């Protein structure tokens, strides 16, 4: 595989991130309604694909970046990529953890994990508040994540210029 496949966009169009979150909400709510383990498989795959490759290998990422976001008027707001990747990683932990719990017969744990994921994705999709990004910021503040990981997070002037993408 080419190294160009792996990686995460930086910056990220916030509209695309919100569309992805809305898709996650739909998948998570579907699981909570039908309580079928097969629903967790594309959910966990999507998070895995987005953590490793951004939207490149994620059907939901492709739908949001190629169709839904371009269909909206205006350019949207660009935000740093590393916090969004961190948030996708948190979603990966929740969705894979739920899958392991569900297929391991610990259904209550799976339901609780997906309910938590639904809340976090809903905040992103409908309010524009990225809980994973907020946690990322706090981890940077206390020194767990080095500031060099996200220079744009510390310098708002970098976000005021549209990227050459």
pTM for this entry: 0.88
Q: What percentage of the chain has pLDDT greater than the value 90?
A: 77
- pLDDT number for residue 154: 66
> What's the average model confidence in pLDDT over 20-47?
98
- pLDDT number for residue 64: 95
Residue 73 has pLDDT above 70, yes or no: yes
Q: Which residue has the tokens 């391991």?
A: 104
* Helix extents (H) in the chain: 14-34, 40-53, 59-62, 69-71, 81-103, 107-122, 131-141, 151-154
Quick one: CA dihedral 96, 46, 149, 159, positive or negative? negative
DSSP code of residue 75: -
Tens-digit pLDDT profile for residues 98-144: 999 999 999 999 999 999 999 999 999 999 999 999 999 999 999 99
Q: Where are the domains of the chain?
A: 12-160
> What are the residues facing 79 on neighbouring strands?
12
Residue 148 has pLDDT above 80, yes or no: yes
């Amino acid at each position: 595989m080419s190294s160009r496949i792996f990686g995460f966009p930086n910056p990220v169009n916030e509209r695309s991130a919100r569309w992805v979150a809305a898709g996650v909400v739909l998948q998570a709510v579907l699981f909570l309604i039908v309580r079928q383990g097969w629903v967790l498989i594309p959910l966990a795959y999507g998070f895995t694909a987005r953590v490793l490759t951004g939207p490149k290998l994620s059907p939901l990422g492709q739908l949001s970046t190629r169709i839904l976001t371009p269909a909206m008027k205006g350019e949207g707001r660009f935000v740093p990529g590393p916090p969004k990747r961190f948030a996708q990683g948190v979603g990966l932990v929740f969705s894979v953890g739920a899958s392991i719990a569900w297929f391991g017969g610990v259904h209550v744990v799976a339901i609780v994990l997906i309910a938590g994921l639904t809340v976090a994705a809903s905040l992103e999709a409908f309010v524009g508040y990225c809980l994973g990004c907020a946690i990322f910021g706090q981890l940077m503040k206390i020194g767990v994540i080095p500031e060099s990981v996200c220079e744009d997070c510390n310098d708002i002037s970098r976000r005021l210029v549209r990227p050459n993408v």
